[in-house]
Amino acid sequence: MKNTLPALRASRGMTQGDLADALNVSRQTVNAIETGRYDPSLPLAFAIARLFSSTIEDIFKPD
């Protein structure tokens, strides 16, 4: 699954570590999501969408 997370994060001036802290996950997890190696669970995807005041569909797109 593709995602716009790196762009969203950059637009907020956040590092992967900052985002990880905000989501209460590890930086490795944020990196894995951003690079498409891991698709987050629905609760985590909702948390990401909520954090960026967006929707899951706007952030995550099927390949």
Partner 1 sequence: MSAATTSVKSAGRNYLIEFSLVLGLYAATAGGRPWLIAHAHNPSLALAATLAPIVPIWLMLAVVWRYYRHIDEYAQKRFLETLAISFGIGSCALVTYAFLTDAGLPPLALSWAWPTLAAAWLITTFVRRIADSR
Give me the residues that bind partner 1 (CB under 8 A), please: 21, 23-26, 28-29, 32-33, 38, 40-41, 43-44, 47
Burial label, 30 (beta-carbon count in 10 A; 0-12, 13-18, 19+)? buried
Smallest gap from Cβ 40 to partner 1, in A, equals 7
Nearer to partner 1, 14 or 47 (CB): 47
Smallest gap from Cβ 45 to partner 1, in A, equals 9
